[in-house]
Amino acid sequence: MTTPQIRIETTPNPATLKFQFSSPISTKSQDFPDAQTAQRSPLATKLFGFPWTSAVYIGADFVTVTKQDWVDWEVLAEPLAGLIREHIEGGEAVEAMEAPSSSDESADDSPLVRKIKQALDAEIRPAVAMDGGDVKFAKFEEGILYLSLHGACSGCPSSTATLKQGIEVRLQELFPEIKEVLSY
C-alpha cells in the first residue's frame, strides 16, 4: 500500500491548519470538537493527546487541526504532519469506530429538503472542503435553513461571510423558498 503524500495548507481560520493528502484516507467526514468525542477515532485521540489541540476534523482526503491560542503553528506544523503521516503509514485506523448519528436522508424529508441536501453535497460542501471545512444540514423551518459548520469553518473569523455572502446567496439562487441561512 502506497502512503498518500501530505501537504500542509493554511485555512481562512488562523487557528486551523489543513493537512491535505494526495489520496483518500477516510470514507466519511467526522468532526471531533473535543477530546471526549475524539475517543471514537484512533487518529483524533492521538492528536488530542497534545494539550494544544482544540478540535480535529477528518475529511475524505484531509485532516484539519485547530490549536489553542498559546502555541504557534511554526513550532507545530511539521511535527504534526509527521505524526499524522506515521499514523497512516502504520496502518492505524483513521475513522471513528462508530459513526455519530447524522441528519442525512430522512423518510420525512420534504422534496425541497432533499433538493437542498443534494445541492449542499454537490456544490457547497466540496467548495468549503477546499478550505478544510465542512457544512452540514441541520434543519429547515419556516424558510430558514440552519447549517452546522465544522473543521476549519468552526470558529473561523470569515465563517459568517462565507455563510451569508457565499452559501446563502447561492442557495437562494437555487431555492427562492430559502429566506435566510443561519449557523446552527
Are 85 and 139 within one domain?
A: no
Number of domains in the chain: 2
Which residue stretches of the chain are H helix?
35-38, 42-47, 73-89, 111-119, 125-129, 159-161, 169-174
Same-domain status, 19 and 73: yes
- C-alpha distances (whole Å) from 13 to each of 42, 51, 64 are 25, 19, 11
Give me the pLDDT at residue 155, please: 81
Least confident of 65-74, 103-112, 154-163: 103-112
Same domain flag for 56 and 127: no
Contact (Cβ atoms closer than 8 angstroms) between residue 158 and residue 149: no
- Domain span at 159: 111-183
134-148 pLDDT, tens digit each:
999 999 999 999 999
Ramachandran sector of residue 34 (left: φ over 0; alpha: ψ -120 to 50; beta: rest): beta
Q: Determine, yes or no, domain membership for 31.
A: yes
Q: Report whether pLDDT(2) > 70.
A: no
What pLDDT is recorded for position 57?
95
Instruction: Give pLDDT, residue 100.
Output: 47
DSSP-derived letter for residue 160 is H
Of 103, 184, 108, 109, the residue nearest 144 (C-alpha): 184
Task: Give the pLDDT of residue 119.
Answer: 93
Question: What CATH code is carried by the domain that includes residue 116?
Answer: 3.30.300.130
Co-location of 126 and 173 in the same domain: yes
Give the strand pairing for 30-32 and 53-58: antiparallel
80 and 138, same structural domain? no
Per cent of the chain over pLDDT 70 is 92
Does residue 156 have a pLDDT over 70? yes
List pLDDT tens digits, range 91-112: 888 877 654 444 455 667 899 9
* 84 and 31 together in one domain: yes
Grid coordinates given for 60: 475524505
- Are 40 and 70 within one domain? yes
Listed residue (68, 47, 67, 69) closest to 58, CA to CA: 47
Contact between 94 and 21 (Cβ < 8 Å): no
Query: What is the sign, positive or negative, of the torsion defined by CA atoms of 161, 145, 131, 150?
Result: positive
Q: Residue 11 sits in a domain of what CATH number? A: 3.30.1370.70
176: left (phi over 0), alpha (psi -120 to 50) or beta: alpha
pLDDT at 108: 73
Residue 42 within any structural domain of the chain = yes
What is the arithmetic mean of pLDDT over 80-85? 93
What pLDDT score was predicted for residue 83?
93
Interval 16-39: pLDDT, tens: 999 999 989 988 889 999 999 998
Q: Is 175 within a domain?
A: yes
Look at residue 98 and tell me if it is in a domain: no
